[in-house]
Structure 1
């Protein structure tokens, strides 16, 4: 049985500690990721993403790994520490925001929610409230999100490309008037020279980024970093091989999208499906 390492306050950042332990246990056995996947019955690429810190996986796969490696409870304990590590999430998000402010170009994919750079106050408020924010903290976050939109203003604004899953445009706000305002604002932004909007129709089927929102930032030094985002957490990815793999998935998905012209027409059709404003 492998030696069990103590989980102490001296351990490194929980997410990195979890990934390191997974790599160590596998390499000590002399197994490849593909062999591990075959023996446990999971897609081997999932284990690669877990070892690179791109995902934590679910409790079922972690329990199976604990059993396979003969480390009862160790990996599950590390997983629980990592998944509850909100302090590190906030630090990564702050670093991402600092990088976003200096980016020379940005590109993005949305699974179900519009990117913050294209949100109206009403849209931002409903999205953030769905994530359990309320009161003064909610209003503070709405204002902060509106402040981000200035990134796309001015003659020196960076190019921004966003690919929206059709589901984004099929998930309205509760208030029809607020939803209309959001779609109209989206159309206005799509007319800007530095903004490119494309729609990925649901008929395109499965693709490599089907489960996550993704941001890519080109930095002044020529590097590209990625940021995967969900309602409750996000991950900044700076390792070159991981970023390149995600970029390839993004490029393959972009080949399935409608053209910018067709995408704008699609968004306008969505707007026309809304009830007309009541007469005054």
Structure 2
């Protein structure tokens, strides 16, 4: 029996279908993204990212949209299908990614690599390839990771602080031109008003996050959640006492770090040490 042919003209891939329905319903209602954000109480940029497929949002957002558009259960069902379907991000990241897109402020500590939101395409490609990702999956993961940079762009972008262990800046890429591009991009990012970059020098001594990458997200309802990660797995932490302990460790690390001004000078010195391409 030949396969059934789609007759609606709409995508049969869950994530793409969700983005199509979100845009169709909004335009049908005649709302701009800003008007939608004002009506539902979320930052309007979240809905733009959902319509572009950059984030799925959360089930709570899908339910609110269903109520607003008068489509009970439709968008939530599409959200669940998209979340269950293989996507750009691995399963353990999905809930975190939904919360990240809603965060009103973010702060981070990095042990050995830059946070995804500050990675250039060349940097992301080399780091992901080193972890064993290959072929089309590698290209998809690079696109997904660099797409997260959009979270920090625009007048409504949330404030973001990263404290980077000196080890992050000492682990250069094999491709020196790509490493130069990444350092230049990091310096430019540090000049943006919503981004703060600090460096924790080797001489700072042991601390509570010595082997832990962590990202904190402050959400619109006032809650703070944390996501810790190593090379093999990540964990979303929402329990208040556990988040508080991590925050205390983070505050101690931030106090040990160089100031933003001194950190920028530090990165610039690292950039000066990168060999130039002899062909240029």
Q: TM-score band (shorter)?
A: 0.5 to 0.7
CA distance in 1, matches of 2:184, 2:278: 17
Cα distance, 1:236 vs. partner? 0.2
Cα distance, 1:277 vs. partner? 3.3
Kept in 2, the 8 Å contact 1:165–1:201? The answer is yes
CA distance in 2, matches of 1:191, 1:244: 30
Taking structure 1 as the reference length, the TM-score comes to: 0.67
Q: Deviations over 1:81-126 (max 9, x none)?
A: xxxxxxxx95441000000000000000000000000001110011
Q: Provide the residue aligned with 1:200 in structure 2.
A: 200
Kept in 2, the 8 Å contact 1:228–1:235? The answer is yes
SS at match of 2:227: strand
Q: Provide the residue aligned with 2:171 in structure 1.
A: 171
Q: Provide the residue aligned with 1:236 in structure 2.
A: 236
Cα distance, 1:227 vs. partner? 0.3
Kept in 1, the 8 Å contact 2:177–2:276? The answer is no
CA distance in 1, matches of 2:226, 2:107: 10
CA distance in 2, matches of 1:279, 1:236: 46
Q: Provide the residue aligned with 1:132 in structure 2.
A: 132
Q: Provide the residue aligned with 1:102 in structure 2.
A: 102
Residues 96 and 152 (structure 1 numbering): CA distance in 2 closer, same or farther, change over 3 Å? same
Q: Provide the residue aligned with 1:76 in structure 2.
A: none
SS at match of 1:214: strand
Taking structure 2 as the reference length, the TM-score comes to: 0.67
Q: Deviations over 1:185-220 (max 9, x none)?
A: 000101100000000000001000001100000000
Q: Provide the residue aligned with 1:143 in structure 2.
A: 143
Q: Provide the residue aligned with 1:213 in structure 2.
A: 213
Cα distance, 1:279 vs. partner? 5.0
Kept in 2, the 8 Å contact 1:212–1:229? The answer is yes
Kept in 2, the 8 Å contact 1:172–1:179? The answer is yes
Q: Structure 1: which 5+ residue stretches go unaligned?
A: 1-88
Q: Displaced runs of 4+ in structure 1, greater than 6 A?
A: none
Mapping 1:102-121, distance limit 5 Å: 102-121=102-121
Q: Deviations over 1:1-44 (max 9, x none)?
A: xxxxxxxxxxxxxxxxxxxxxxxxxxxxxxxxxxxxxxxxxxxx
CA distance in 2, matches of 1:142, 1:99: 20
SS at match of 1:255: helix
CA distance in 2, matches of 1:146, 1:254: 26
Q: Provide the residue aligned with 2:158 in structure 1.
A: 158
Kept in 2, the 8 Å contact 1:214–1:228? The answer is yes
SS at match of 2:133: coil
Cα RMSD for the two superposed structures: 1.2
CA distance in 2, matches of 1:187, 1:102: 26
